[in-house]
Structures are given as C-alpha cells and as structure tokens.
Chain A
C-alpha cells in the first residue's frame, strides 16, 4: 500500500466515510473530522509509521505538519518517513 492510499484509509476510517469519498484534495474539516478525530488520526499515523508527528491542538499551524488537506498530510508523512530512513 502506498503512503497516499494508507493515509486515505486512516482518514476515511476516522471520518466514517467510504474510501472513495476521501481524495487527496479533500479538506480535513470538510470531511467532518473533529478535534478528537484529528488526534486519533495522528495517533494512527504515528503507530503505523513509527514516527512522531509534531502536533499541538492549541496551535496546529505551529507544528509545521500541514493538516489542511489529505494530500498535505500525505506529503508531511512522506517527509517524516524519509527523515527517519536518512
């Protein structure tokens, strides 16, 4: 499974949507992912890739981990995975 496909799967599960309804350009807030869903999504990503996502719910923008769209999450995870391998 590619990272993109896997992240879509994780987000679809958290948002209780069909995978087909979660595309790379979907905005997370538009998918109905609330703050708890977001925290659970990040946990699932951390567990799946053994990475640490720098996310603080008080100041999401400051984390440098772009959570605006599914595609931006995929890119951020790809960066973390690459950094871990390096």
Chain B
C-alpha cells in the first residue's frame, strides 16, 4: 500500500483567508467568534458566531460566477486554489485522470435555499433564479473544483453532518493509499450562518448564547462558524520524486457508527473510531502527542469524548495534549474537521499545539490535559483528529510528522 502525504493546504475561515494567517491566529489564540451581522438578526435568540467577515464576493468573482457559486462554493474554491498552488500540481494533463475530489458538507448551498424560500414564501414572488438548483446542490463545490483544476477522476461530496469533512478526507486517504489515484483534493466547507440555518440550530437548544468553552465546567453549548479548508493528498513517493514539500503524512483512518441515538453521542462508538484510526495507522497510543478533539462545548459531547479517549488510551492519555480549536473558528459543521486538520499540521510541523480557548474551570468528567488559554510548544510525532456527528457517525484521522 502507498503512503499518503499532504502537499498542499488552503482555507477561508473566521480567523483568516489563508493557511498562514489561520496558523498564526491559532498560535496566538485569537478568537474569531463575535456578534453576528445579518438581516433580521434581532429575531434570533442566538446572536454570536464565527462569521467570515469582509469576504467581498463581488470583488472575487464575476457576475456569471456569482450566479453559480453559493457562499459554500466560494469558500471551497478559494481554499482549493491555495492548496493546489502550494502543491504545485498541474491537473490539466494526464495527472488529472489519476486524481479526484472528495469534499464534505452537511448543508451545501443553504444560503441559496434560504434566499429562494424567502423570495417565494415571504416576498410572494412566483419565480426564483433559473440556476438555483446547480447552485445549491451539495456536490456543487466538488464539481467546481473539478472544473477549475481539470481533475477528471472520482469526484463527489460526502455528507455526514459534523463528520462530513473527516469522512471525505478519510475516503481521499484510502483512494490514494490503495493506488486508485495519485492525488486527491479533499476537505470540506460549510456556510450555514444564514438566518434560516441559525433558526434551525436554535430549535435544538444546544447553542451557547455567550461563547464556546470546550471541556470547561461552565460550558453551555456550541457556537457555529463557517468556512472551508482544502488539502492535496498525494502518493508520498510521487511527492518525494518531484521534490514537493510535505506538510504531514496521513497515516490512518477509522470510522464507526453508534447505531444509537440521532443526537446523543456514545462513548463506545466514538472509542471504536479512535481505536480503529490507531490500528489503521499502526500507531501505538504512546506515539500520539496531540488530539484535536471534536470538543463542541456541549455538555454531552465533551463528557463523552473525554470518556472515549480515556477508554482507548488508558494510562497513555497522560502524555496526550488535547485541545478543541472550535472556540477560535467556531463549529464549522461539515467543514470543521478540515479546518481542524490545520491545527494538526501546526502541531506536527511546527511543534505548536493550538489552544483550547474559553477553558475556565476543570470538569471532573473531562479530565484531560487540556491546552488551555495559550498555545503550547511541544514537539509531537503523531496526532489524531476526532469528529463525532449527530446520528452517531464517527470519523477519526491519524497523522504523522513528515
């Protein structure tokens, strides 16, 4: 089986519109959460989020592109452009036939749904823009990346709620490792911070009105973010042969289902996914220096994630630094695992563990070595990135230093 290298990365999120800016913000422990700015915000009970501000879509895309690109596609295309440029791969020739795109999103072009429903229901209009369907479909970002890069192999979108981009990157990893393709453009995106999107989440009563505090005793819910992160996964030998810079090695992937509850997470199912990722990577728990936790800041997730980690790592957990970076970039739902992979690269490449902001007081149910307050310098050779979705869908990636 082939080994899999990450040779390119790109992102747009509330912290920055590129990887360098995002890693600098993570190292500095900067919080991207603030007051939401949108039409009808006074009708929302949740008014904070990690919004991408100052995006200026009109200046980035022409009129024809804007008719086809929902916000989720816009973020994806910019992140993909950065990742492919860094990798230095040209997919317009034969390589494009040996490459694919697999991206994750939970809600796809939700803003387009939202605006079109407003037009026909609230404003009484009898028609919507003729290109609404290709704009809102969940696979639109993947198709546009394919069209822009010339990638002509396996191209599709996976959707598994908050685990979408981890599932996407896990599949991309498996496709490269198996030899089916030479390279994959992969990651995920979400742009659910629209009025209707927040209204839907408000109903669940799991959102915090005042801040994201993962694993802290005073946590009271999640805070939503938006954005994208996209990577180039490449056959490691292919990358070495052409002298490409390698950001990290994807070493293993584990995925499981709880077969339990549609919203409550489960210790056993999460633990099996963590153990499966370690096993797939041939990685001993003692090797792992950092876990980028799912850490949503809800009462249930953080308690159950901590129990799952304790169950798998046992005494080795003492050597594992843990942080949830969601208190900086928000919970980017289907794109969150991709943005969190950037924190894993920061740890592996630079030996900097991004902090878990908002950690005020320890919770005995979340007894972990939480990197609270500020980043921690610690050389790490291996990391895990957890994602545990509504519906009991768990996806965990294992990475090693390049």
Q: Are B298 and A58 in contact (CB under 8 A)?
A: yes
Q: Choose among B205, B263, B300 the residue that contacts A55 (Cβ–Cβ < 8 A).
A: B205
B166-195 to A contact mask, C-beta < 8 Å, 1/0: 000000000000000000000000000000
Residue of B nearest to A62 (CB): B220
Q: Is the CB of A39 within 8 A of B220?
A: no
Determine how close the nearest CB of chain B comes to the CB of A13; give it in whole angstroms.
18
User: Residue of B at shortest CB range from A55?
Assistant: B205
B326 at the interface (CB under 8 A from A): no
Docked CA distance A42–B221 (Å)? 18
In A30-86, which residues have CB < 8 Å from any B CB?
Answer: 35-36, 39, 42-43, 52, 55-59, 62
Q: Is B16 an interface residue (CB 8 A)?
A: no
Main secondary structure of the interface of B (DSSP, over half): loop
Contacts of B205 in A (CB 8 A): 39, 42, 55-57
Question: Do B263 and A35 touch (CB < 8 A)?
Answer: yes
In the bound complex, do residue A57 and residue B203 qualify as a contact, i.e. CB atoms below 8 Å apart?
no
Closest Cβ neighbor of B207 among chain A residues? A56
Q: How far apart are the CA atoms of A56 and B299 in the complex, in Å? A: 10
Contacts of A55 in B (CB 8 A): 205
| Known A57-B204, A58-B221; contact A36-B299, beta-carbon cutoff 8 A | no
Is the C-beta of B400 less than 8 angstroms from some C-beta in chain A?
no
List residues of chain B with CB within 8 A of the CB of A36.
262-263
Chain A residues with Cβ below 8 Å from B300 are 58
Interface centre among A42, A52, A57, A59 (most CB of B within 10 A): A57
A35 to B204, CA, bound (A): 10
* Cα–Cα distance between A35 and B206 once the two chains are bound (Å): 11
Residues of B within 8 A of A52 (CB): 45
B220 touches A56 (CB 8 A): yes
Question: Of A39, A57, A58, which is in contact with the most chain B CB atoms at under 10 Å from its CB?
Answer: A58
Query: How many chain B residues have a CB neighbour from A under 8 Å?
Result: 17
Question: For the complex, is B264 an interface residue (Cβ under 8 Å from A)?
Answer: yes
Q: Cβ of A59 and Cβ of B264 under 8 Å apart?
A: no
Partner pick for A59 among B45, B204, B263, B299, CB 8 A cutoff: B299
- B208 at interface by CB-CB < 8 Å: yes
Instruction: Tell me, yes or no, whether B294 is within 8 Å of chain A by CB.
Output: no
Find the A residue at minimum CB distance from B203. Answer: A43
What residues of chain B lie closer than 8 Å to A57, measured between beta carbons? 204-206, 221, 298-299
8 A Cβ contacts from A2-49 to B: 35-36, 39, 42-43
User: Which chain A residues lie closer than 8 Å to B263 at the CB level?
Assistant: 35-36
Q: Are B203 and A56 in contact (CB under 8 A)?
A: no
Neighbour of A35 across the interface among B45, B203, B221, B264, CB < 8 A: B264
| Contact status A58-B204, CB under 8 Å | no
Closest to B204 in A: A39
Interface residues of B in 302-351 (CB under 8 A from A): none
* B6-48 CB contacts (< 8 Å) to partner A: 45
C-alpha gap A58/B207 in the complex (Å): 8
The answer for the CA separation of A62 and B299 in the assembled complex, in Å, is 13
B219 within 8 A of A: yes
Chain B residues near A43: list those with CB within 8 A.
203
Q: How far is the CB of B300 from chain A (nearest CB, A)?
A: 8
Q: Is A56 a contact of B45 with CB atoms below 8 Å?
A: no
A–B Cβ pairs within 8 angstroms, 21 of them: A35-B264, A36-B263, A39-B204, A39-B205, A42-B205, A52-B45, A56-B205, A56-B207, A56-B220, A56-B221, A57-B206, A57-B221, A57-B298, A58-B206, A58-B220, A58-B221, A58-B298, A58-B300, A59-B220, A59-B299, A62-B220
Q: Which 8 A-B pairs have the closest CB atoms?
A: A58-B299, A57-B205, A58-B221, A58-B220, A59-B220, A57-B206, A39-B205, A58-B298
Given A52-B45, A57-B298, A62-B220, 9 other A-B residues pairs in contact with their CB atoms under 8 A: A35-B263, A42-B205, A43-B203, A56-B206, A56-B208, A57-B299, A58-B208, A58-B300, A59-B220
